[in-house]
Amino acid sequence: MGIYLNPGNQGFAESLNSQIYVDKTGLISYTNRVIGTAQKYICVSRPRRFGKTMAAGMLTAYYGRECESGELFKGLAIEKDVSFKKHLNQYDVIFLNMQNFLSRAKSADSFVLFLQECVLKDLAKAYPDFAGLWEQSDLLTALEEVYNVNQKGFIFIIDEWDCIFREKKHDLRAQTGYLDFLRALLKDKSYVRLVYMTGILPVKKYGTHSALNMFDEYSMTDQGVLAPFAGFTENEVRELCSQYQLDFDEMKRWYDGYLFEDGLHIYNPKSVVEALRRKKFAGYWTKTETYEALKIYLEMNFDGLKDAVTMMLGGGFCRINPYKFQNDMTSFQSRDDVMTLLVYLGYLAYEAERESVFIPNREIEIEFANAIEGAGWGEIVRLLSESEGLLEATLEGNESIVAKAIDTAHMEAASILAYNNENALSCVISLAYYSAKRYYTFIRELPTGKGFADIVLLPGRNYPDKPAVLVELKWDESADSAIGQIKERKYVKALEGYQGNLLLVGINYDKESKKHQCKIEKLSLGQPL
């Protein structure tokens, strides 16, 4: 075994031996199907700590010919696949962690040359009959010579493929040279059986075309058939919560939110694992990223970015066009480019059906709230900091204080958002109740008996003393009519199964006076309306 050529199965063995392991070997079923086909080029982009390196180690262990991995895969999903034995440990695997080469190279310009030297040394050990070749040829020539003799071909597993675009953001010459090298190494080469390439960014768009346009891409805007392997699925998380006796609803609130086709929900695996291990919900993934990175992009404040983030902090969606983004860290032309990057970094989620982005969960929401403090967004910071007082007034049934607090919140946000409809009012109310998210699951437009409740706050299991809150908003009507609609349309039916007290909150905004009215009624579920 070598360092880069057939490095063995130790990495995957460590994953299997970890306290918590979720079987993702179903990915191998797909890669087996595309070996030696036109679909053999796969580029998977996901945020940090979403299982990319684990998957790369798994594929290396399965395909690499200089190890015996059958026992490692015993009892896992791939063992039942008809292709399992056909491809198990049958190939020369070249595993390239580009981050490792870039950090060790003397310069970005020598990065590619250093990579070739390292791999050539491994090839020379594995194929001593070609010893003379390594002294005078480049990597491409060496691979062609080996293939011409043994006709077996190579599988390439490339991790952190995009590191040069993230760490050498402005070195266009080094980036271009790297892309040209990958194209020459991989495209239309008879020795290539499969390429599995992974990173945070999709393939870099290169002028008017892509240098690596042969790749099928699976990104956070479209994971396609590989979506179940992008993180933990909801069923996987539910089973883990049952096994470790942790509240699934709370897990969902903290780490769910990444949505793909057919309603598939994906959870952040790093955060789920840490929550299970520590028996505590907190921001685990964000500690690996630091809010400073997010703050940098918020401070750019492209036209409309502040508006968009404010809307999303209020639980709203923001429509974007992710297809103009150049897949690097510098070529920003619009707020859409910035938000697309935040999708790839994991700070936003993308819903294809709406073509919109949103803040996926509590963990990320807290990160945004922290980041805007240092981004000069004083009015929003004040709005969020004052939300605790609004929640207390609501729970105490103090209608006048609630109305006054919402007046203030409206004014704070008015400089950012043009409030001229009920959807915008819903956003400001959601922002005004921001602190409630410590204790409540926050739902906008919950389907009810005969329509949608504007905002529903459901207390977490750890807060049984707090009532559920059902909020109905009106525009140029009355707070009483909002309460009346809750009762008339049987919105309370949406809370079947909930046992506890309930607050009905009606809020009306008078466009002429620019004032809010509030009406609060307390009741217990089971009590007639």
pLDDT tens digits, 393-405: 999 999 999 999 9
Confidence of residue 386 (pLDDT cuts 50, 70, 90): confident
- This prediction's pTM: 0.89
Domain count along the chain: 3
Q: What is the mean pLDDT of the chain?
A: 87
Higher pLDDT, 277 or 327: 277
In this structure, is residue 223 part of a structural domain?
no
In this structure, is residue 450 part of a structural domain?
yes
Buried residues in 480-514 as b, exposed as e (16+ CB within 10 A): eebbbbbeebebbebbeeeeebbbbbbbbbeeeee
In this structure, is residue 473 part of a structural domain?
yes
Highest mean pLDDT among 61-70, 145-154, 208-217, 383-392: 61-70
- Domain finish residue from 312, 344, 376: 376
Measured CA distances, 187 to 159, 162, 218, 390 (Å): 18, 18, 18, 60
In this structure, is residue 224 part of a structural domain?
no
Q: What is the pLDDT of residue 129?
A: 83
Across the range 267-278, mean pLDDT stands at: 96
Say whether both 147 and 46 belong to one domain.
yes
Residue 43 has pLDDT above 50, yes or no: yes
Name the residue range of residue 281's domain.
229-376
Say whether both 137 and 77 belong to one domain.
yes
Higher pLDDT, 381 or 255: 255
Say whether both 196 and 119 belong to one domain.
yes
Distance, CA of 78 to CA of 293 (rounded, Å): 38
Highest mean pLDDT among 99-108, 150-159, 202-211, 311-320: 150-159
476: number of Cβ within 10 Å: 10
Say whether both 398 and 462 belong to one domain.
yes
Nearest CA-CA partner of 482 in 399, 387, 392: 399
Confidence of residue 82 (pLDDT cuts 50, 70, 90): very high
Check residue 442 and give left, alpha or beta (phi > 0: left; psi -120 to 50: alpha): beta
In this structure, is residue 4 part of a structural domain?
no
CATH number of the structural domain spanning residue 76: 3.40.50
Across the range 273-290, mean pLDDT stands at: 85
* Residue where the block lists tokens 């983004």: 325
Q: Is the dihedral of CA 67, 72, 75, 80 positive or negative?
A: negative
Q: What is the pLDDT of residue 514?
A: 82
Higher pLDDT, 308 or 57: 57
Say whether both 197 and 239 belong to one domain.
no
Say whether both 476 and 395 belong to one domain.
yes
Share of the chain above pLDDT 70, in %: 91
Say whether both 394 and 304 belong to one domain.
no
- Domain finish residue from 156, 189, 218: 218
Measured CA distances, 522 to 412, 469, 501, 504 (Å): 29, 9, 7, 6
Say whether both 16 and 152 belong to one domain.
yes
In this structure, is residue 22 part of a structural domain?
yes
**Strand stretches in 279-355, DSSP E:** 318-319, 349-351
Residue 97 has pLDDT above 80, yes or no: yes
Q: Is 352 helix (H, G, I), strand (E, B) or coil?
A: coil
Q: What is the pLDDT of residue 18?
A: 94
Say whether both 209 and 258 belong to one domain.
no
Share of the chain above pLDDT 90, in %: 54
Say whether both 446 and 304 belong to one domain.
no
Per residue in 187-240, pLDDT (tens digit) is: 999 999 999 999 999 987 665 446 788 999 999 999 999 999 999 999 999 999
Higher pLDDT, 42 or 307: 42
CATH number of the structural domain spanning residue 478: 3.40.1350
In this structure, is residue 210 part of a structural domain?
yes
Say whether both 193 and 46 belong to one domain.
yes
The token pair at 228 is 């179940």
Say whether both 310 and 404 belong to one domain.
no
Helical H segments across 454-525, by residue range: 479-488
- Domain finish residue from 356, 376, 396: 376
Across the range 336-355, mean pLDDT stands at: 92
Confidence of residue 451 (pLDDT cuts 50, 70, 90): very low
Q: What is the pLDDT of residue 515?
A: 87
Higher pLDDT, 385 or 402: 402
Confidence of residue 90 (pLDDT cuts 50, 70, 90): very high
In this structure, is residue 428 part of a structural domain?
yes
